[in-house]
Structure 1
Amino acid sequence: MAAKIDHDDLLTCPICYEQFTNPKCLPCNHTFCQLCLKSYIITQLGGEGKQAKGFPCPVCRQEVTVTDPELTSESIADTMPDNHVITSLIERSAQVSASCEDEKWCGPCYSDNEKTLAVSWCTQCSETLCENCVKYHRRFRKSKHEIISVDEMKKEKTKPAQPLDVEEPCMKHTGEVLKVYCVSHKEMCCVICLATSHRKCEQISTFEEMVSTGSKNTEYVKKFAEHLDNLEERTDKLRNKTDENLTTLNNRHDEISKKVTTTVQQAIDKLDHLRSSFLTTFKQMHKGESIKLTEAKERIEVLQQNVKKGKKLLKTVQEQGSPKQVFITTEKLKMQLKQHIDSLQTELINASFIDYNLRTDDVIETIRNNLTSVVEVDINQTLGLCSSLKEISSIANCFFIEDIEPIDVMKLEVHKEHSVKPNGEITGGTYLPDGRLVFCCFTNKKLKVYDKDGNFLFDTSCKKRCPRDTCLISSSEIIVSFDDGINKYEIQQNELKEKEKISSKCEAWGLAATKDNIIVGYEKEVDVLSMDGEVVQSFSRSRDHVSYVAVALTGNIYYSDGNDIVCKTLDGREVRRFTNPKLQRLLGIAVDKNDNVYVCGNESNNICVFSADGSHSKMLIMDINLPLNIGFNSTETRLYVCTSEDGCLFYSLNKKG
């Protein structure tokens, strides 16, 4: 008999906190009761009968896309796939609990509120029977059912249960189940995925083939479990550190407030006014910083809980699942945790651990009649949250089989896959959250959208303006640079809808973005803007040609200055500068999650990759005709290069050895 599943939180709905009823799974892999999810969606969308393009997950707040625009709020939950793993675990748990409770007493007698000791067991009915009920059972089920003793039944139940093995639904195609694994893109696929998005992929394996070389305790799964342990430890430390910082900040707030109050009370009536003014301002400042840390803490706690549940689910499936199920569960957990960590890192990219620094005026008594303020409080930012999150992200990168070790740029190689050749010159592009790709067609004055395999989907006219570059600023918005400034566009299913213009200088070119800032490349400078277009910082350049820009996960900015690649912080401090003599007229630039830098040599017709510190470089692509811009897909396994004459070229990015 299988052991009782002692993981109640795995089987508990995070909305109603009861055991799941008809569990439904969202694309982010969070599961909810069908009725709970239905009620939540109705509330989120503002009532029954409402239609929407999506809704946020109740746990991680990732946007869930509603693919059918005709669905209303009360029917969306019904279309979400069932979580068969959770359903099977609930059934097993129930069977074990029922057996432990009922096998002592005769089932028919017990149903009549009589407790009679059971002596036999019907293998077909799975029912315990006393001596009298055995006779009646045999009369009504003569020669049909096998009846054994209770002792024999107990021996039967001690046999190991069959490994858990269920059909996993495809999150992209309703009604389809996952059948194969694309090794090239590290994605699980149904038959429709295979026929549409992976038809050109050469490394396709069945799940049975993926696990045929080992059991559920293979080194691959063991290593993933170790990463989960490491990730849980890091998130726990980060959460505690954030909590400690919040406590310290509150204590410092109280300490400074008292000191300021004491100082002001010793002064004249004018100082009373200044005290009140200071406390109001300081309280607002403190409230804002406390909210930031509290929100960061809550997001980290969500990640922490996801990791803990992931560990428990993996352990349970290892104990009770087939090798295929263990592999599928591992891959699902990888995708879920990587999505959460990427989302968390994007949201908290500029967050910092902070402290207050009090500065007082020692000559208050002599100048009190001219005072305009008593004290000032500075926020001392130390090691940012993003730095700690980067450590967590490095663990998440290890979830992928080929990325166990940091990328060595000298071992990188590329293989050309296909190309996109619209009429006119492509000068920039960006991937959307759903994997589609937007290109700026400069000469055609259009934004063109393709799927990840280069198939054209639709285009949007830029109204006689020439788009130059584009980047994502949220899950639903992109920005596009033109010769007269920058515009926002809303991402829709079959359209990019133009929104407001962002105030900026003319002749904007390269674009990149952090959570709070837009980075714009011009011919003679690079500007850091707020989201409403106000210039925060400006860096001069020595070369009069277009400037593309890139932003690393650390928030550092990369751009070209002459033949140098320059790395600066958002506040203008130069971190490093490096070059390669084989690169001429540096244009497009991109930075991966390991801070390796990829640069287009427009006149030298090549692509060079630099290590994070600039000490090593390698010519990644040679003899490419006038490359302009460069970028990655979300998993950084594909590279696209925009060229002046050959359209956009797609390459798979691999690591030798």
Structure 2
Amino acid sequence: MDVTICPICMETLQIPRCIPCSHNFCQQCLNNHINNSCIGKDFPTGFHCPVCRKYVPGSISTDNPSLWAETFPKNAIIEFMIKSNDEKVLKLCKPCLNDNKEESASTLCGSCMECLCAGCTDHHKKLTITKEHEVVPLNVINKSFHRKTEENFCSKHDFRHIELYCFDHDTPCCSVCCVTDHKTCKMDTIEKAFENIEKDNDSLQMISEIDRVASHLQKLKEIQKEKQSKIEDKADEIRDESKRIRQEINETMKKLEHELLEDLAEGMKATRKAIAGNMETFSDLIDLSNHCKAFLANPSKKSCNPGYVGGFYQIKKQLKRLKSAKLSIKDTAITATFSSVLKEVKSSKQLASLTVNEKPISLSILEFQSIPKGIVQVEKTVLDIYHKYGARINEMFLFENDADLFVCVDDKTNLVCTTSGLCRKSVHFGFTILHAVMMRGKIYAVSNRKNLHAIEYLENSATYSRIKFNINRRCFSVSVFQENLVVGCNNAILHLETNGKEQKIIPAEGRGLDVISLNIGNIVYIGRTVTGMRIVRGIESNGRELWKYEHSELKRPWGLTKDFVENIYIAGNFSNNIHMLSSAGYALKIFEQIPLPSRMILRKESNDEFYVVSASTSVKQVKLIL
């Protein structure tokens, strides 16, 4: 098949998009296919290739299937082939043309997008800068070429190799992306990122998580299948009941009809007999009258003799008798009064009142057994302030150097300590900090008066400046999403610029005691209701609830954090444990044996080195043992 033809519309490809299975489609055709595939799905995550039926995940950058098609890479080689068919540039070697020579082309370099002759092909494969390029014979392209996946090339900047990975935006980048869109982001080379993945066995951990999630989803699918089976059985039961009622009605109607027709037959038999007798009476009387008339009208009978005279007077008596006869007409009426029940059945608009109630069951209440258990292994106590300060710890965070801790105490004292436990200084800002985060050298803090402040503080300086944001809401927590602030309030979560300007108000339930954002924009927060109940919820950026996490072994959830693969950690303050969830809200592990955990942070350079506030008085460096 000609690879420049779209398999859906069978026309020349328009804006060819290549999906991971290497099949190419017009962008609009692919968009239509995706939309049709996602109709009726509550949570669309992907689609199947219309050619090979392989599953293709949707874009993680958007949950809207209508935007997925344009996120797949353009197939620049096929675009080049379509253009070349018009301009006939596939015939001649491009480097030779640059040298004013005409040599027939035999190959195409997919990296340089230039046709090469045999000689230039040999040089191309020898040069250090081009020897890794993919060079394909033109006859292979023209017959059955399918472009390989473009995972090594930037989707924004054509033919730019991906060399870096941005951890702030969770996306691979080329060098142009780095200097244009990610100037201040945490970046690393692809090689270094891969080394870290391999060093920490992240891929194996993720496979394990995927297995648990897949097992969980399989259980959900089985439950849904059972629900479907039950509703199908119920539908069959209703069908059978309908048939049974109709059969009973038919049998009853047949019986009643038979009885009615029998009664009708007997009634008509008696009526016919009575009418027939009356008809015979009338016939006899008519015959009598005709007989009398015939006697009187017969001339031969009329003579003076005893027979005629006697007959005349007999007829006179007969006439008198005939006229005085008590005659009647049998005026028989027949009626049938049908049962009112039958009339009601006839006038009924439906055999039964049918209702179909769809009741979504929150997955949070499907508490599956056998959630794996782990333990919190304390490596060392970094800080214990109770005996020294007689106060409690409200908050802590790491400085951007990932080496020093900033610990906020409830007596307006803030301690700057090394991760090894050395307290370097104490800092006072004039209020007690309940919740705080650091971004770009500034501290954004929620005070005990539920106000949000921006504090310009240099770690090596004794001075600071403070700005109170003018927010007409009580603030309870603050975190960072990309370059913005995410603030937990009453029944709402705010997106703010770093100058306090409001960007978005996201509806939420309860008081947002802690909040974190995931890379795709979803939000996880602990909401406290008016009754004091604390519930962990995951929502989209528009406020739509994705999941709710409650568990019998999670009591008084207090703090939230996440790791680099976006697993979520919940501190169970009264249950003395830490719950590990996937970003989709599935319970993956419960880590036990940590007294009264509240705040947690994870060092950027490690995937298992946590710092946990325990019993509100100490900071412990711990490892979560699977």
TM interval, short-chain normalised: 0.3 to 0.5
TM-score, normalising length: structure 1: 0.39
TM-score, normalising length: structure 2: 0.41
Name which one, 1 or 2, has greater alpha-carbon Rg.
Answer: 2
